[in-house]
Chains A and B, each alone.
Chain A
Amino acid sequence: MSSGRDEILSNIRRSLGVSGREAPRRAAVDERLKRAAPGIVPQRGDVTGTERIALFRRYAEAVQATVALVAGAADVPLAVAAYLRDQNLPATVRMGDDPRLAAMPWQETALAVAVGPSAGGDLNAVSHAYAGVAETGTLVMVSGHANPTTLNFLPDNHVVVLDARDLVGHYEDVWARLRGVEMPRTVNWITGPSRSADIERTLLLGAHGPRRLHVVVIAGPSAPLTSA
């Protein structure tokens, strides 16, 4: 194994005409990794407050996600229940043990709540997003027992709770937040429900992952609300 490594690295160095020990090259690499410069960042994400929520919503809806706004965390269970009812889906959900979800008044609804990762038998899942990115209507999920990765992909219908305080303008803002902690095993960017255009370029939803993606944004008391 290490002979493969040595040979490949020395081939690369021969092709580049370097030894690998040149101080300026090493410094350039160290510097780039340390600075992690953002590069070109689209201006359209430079909005705040309700405008940022509107931008997120516009791009999420453009790719067939649905979005509902609620004023506070306590309103989330009713919004989830209403969504499932409107879609004629059973009143069952599975979620991880995220404390923010656990603190919500699920008992105010008729929803049957199961907790833990999915083994494939669940129709509906609820997750709490780590962040949202307005630039493209993207949800950012991180793995862990609070929000198991299987819930992002196995259930047919995925409801994601996004706190507007976690909604950022650009991808780079998420990296800045994550750089302070250990990189999670999995970071999932999710933009719309699963789809495929592999058969005759016909766009179809629900290829392997969720057929529906519904985002409940906790917008704060001053936000203009829409009914769930």
Chain B
Amino acid sequence: MVAPVTSPSFKANASQALANAQLQSVLSGMREGFAARRREAAGQLPEFEALRDSARDIKHHTLAHLDLYLERYVDTVTASGGQVHFARDAAEARAIITSLCQSLDAKTVTKGKSMIAEEIGLNDHLEQAGIVPVETDLGEYIIQLRHEMPSHIIGPALHLSAKQIEADFRRVHTDLPRDRDLSQPATLLAEARQVLRQRFLAADVGITGANFLIAETGTSVIVTNEGNGDLTQTLPKAHIVLASIEKVVPTLEDCAQLLRVLARSATGQEISVYTTFSTGPRRPDDVDGPGAYHVVLLDNGRSAMLGTSFRDVLSCIRCGACMNHCPIYESIGGHAYGWVYPGPIGAVLTPSLIGVDKAAHLPNASTFCGRCEEVCPVRIPLPKLMRHWREREFERHLTPAATRSGLAFWAFFAKRPRLYRLVTRAAMGMLAYAGRARGRFRRLPFAGGWTEYRDLPAPEGATFQARWRGERGGRA
């Protein structure tokens, strides 16, 4: 088992998201804000595009030699006094972490933001073992209080309003004065800082993710703006790093190349406030730092992905730019995607990790506008990979019933004018692609379905046929 999945009900999720006025008001403006900042940061660095090529090349080289870099990484971590544990799947990773915590007699565990911890559903498991996990990234803390999943990989609570967060803090922080002022984001932050400071100081173990693992030195790297990851890993008895196998890069220099594109792509910062390079446990003459340093390396299907056409997905550095520039994400937010990774990266990664049967709808959540690929710092061809999944779906489901359910999917979008406008473009792109690849697709019931559904609410602007002609002409 991994984290709970609602991807199969993507349609219902999206429907709810579109009807959620609060969510819609938070989402509007999010994309332009992120996009403008990224544009500005990229514009300020003449070498930005060359750095993206460099970043992509580093990832491709490392993935092509992943076995050897992992072996080297294990050697260098061990030489610095740390320990590496390999976990084949989520269950194994959870078991390793739980037993490490138990061997340290841990009662509470602070956690830096880790998408892998979300992927393996670590918190629930720790709680079942009687260990209290405390998320310390502000956004992660808030969604933990709400028992929600992150809605964005770099801003887990961006779907919430300050009012909602105030209500959660009042519900949970019951030992604080009831008449306190929590009307501003600043007062909310101050309260979280105060509450979490106690948790940092009391924790027995700190668990962080890793943005990169450096084979040359056995170093794990985290990037934060809050400093929560550093308090998480510096104060307790032990630091456990939880990372997936594809996070490894060869050298410190390679890491610097990737860092130069990471923050600029994510938030438009030149660099994040804190970039921390950790190598092993406390040294003999250190006066602070963790006494033990463990790395849990998770596979969970990635070694198999390496051998498929989805290998490029493993280049992802989780900057979030693809979702920040995605019209579908902007319309429905992250939760509709139904699992840990939303947006375009989620649409290509989730089917690999939880199975295409559960995530079949996600690769459809695209207009093929190509913005995600344009901004991806490691140049992952996201639209092409989404097409691959859709093609596989076509091949898997060439039965009348499945075709009907595919049509139901289109009908769902067609009834929602805003999404319809976006997705019709996708349909056209897909049909053009499929038609080009295999002429017979044009005669399949899928295309016929459009005539059946032509009387559905039409999009503003050009008719479907006009767009279809224009699009095909444009792509021919």
Taking Cβ atoms with an 8 Å cutoff, the residues of A that contact B are: 1, 4-5, 7-9, 11-18, 20, 25-26, 28-29, 32-33, 36-44, 59, 62-63, 96, 116-117, 119-120, 136-138, 143-145, 148-150, 152-154, 170-172, 175, 178-179, 183-202, 204, 206-210
Contact = CB atoms under 8 A, between A and B. Distances in A.
Contacts of A179: 252
Interface string B166-207: 000000000000000000011011000100110011000000
A192 B33 contact: no
A186 B234 contact: yes
A33 B196 CA distance: 40
A148 B288 CA distance: 6
A43 B92 CA distance: 46
**Pairs of residues from A and B, 10 with the lowest C-beta to C-beta distance, nearest first:** A209-B227, A15-B307, A11-B303, A207-B226, A198-B139, A15-B306, A4-B86, A189-B275, A187-B277, A199-B185
Interface string B33-54: 1000000000001110011001
Given A33-B72, A194-B226, A153 B307 contact: no
Given A150-B234, A185-B282, A32 B250 contact: yes
Given A9-B70, A15-B303, A33 B215 contact: yes
B216 A36 contact: yes
12 contacts: A9-B70, A11-B299, A36-B253, A42-B260, A170-B256, A172-B253, A188-B230, A196-B139, A198-B156, A198-B157, A199-B157, A199-B162
A15 B302 CA distance: 10
B256 A172 contact: yes
A135 B142 CA distance: 34
Interface in B248-296: 250-254, 256-257, 259-260, 267, 269-283, 285-289
Given A4-B92, A191-B271, 7 more contacts: A17-B307, A26-B68, A33-B251, A149-B230, A193-B273, A208-B226, A209-B230
B276 A207 contact: no
Given A185-B286, A186-B276, A207-B228, A199 B253 contact: no
Nearest to A15: B307
Contact of B231 (A38, A62, A195, A208): A208
Given A13-B67, A15-B307, A202 B230 contact: no
Contact of B30 (A40, A117, A201, A208): A201
B66 A12 contact: yes
Interface residues of B, number: 102
Contacts of B139: 196, 198
Contact of A153 (B46, B68, B231): B231
Contacts of A117: 287-288
Contacts of B230: 149, 152-153, 188, 209
B226 A12 contact: no
B273 A206 contact: no
B136 interface: yes
Contacts of B219: 183
Contacts of A8: 70, 86, 88, 245, 297, 299, 303
Contacts of A171: 256, 259
A198 B138 contact: yes
B467 to A, nearest CB: 34
B137 interface: yes
Contacts of B68: 20, 25-26, 29
B243 interface: no
Contacts of A32: 61, 250-251
Contacts of B251: 32-33, 36-37
A99 to B, nearest CB: 14
Contacts of A38: 253, 256
A71 B25 CA distance: 53
A78 to B, nearest CB: 28
Contacts of A204: 185-186, 189
Given A29-B68, A39-B54, A202-B185, A185 B157 contact: no
B225 interface: yes
A149 B288 contact: yes
B326 interface: no
A137 B162 CA distance: 32
Nearest to A116: B287
Interface string B227-243: 11011001100000000
Given A120-B201, A144-B285, A59 B270 contact: yes
Contacts of B307: 14-17
A209 to B, nearest CB: 3
B64 A196 contact: no
A187 B80 CA distance: 14
Contacts of B281: 185
B153 to A, nearest CB: 13
A19 to B, nearest CB: 9
Nearest to B252: A175
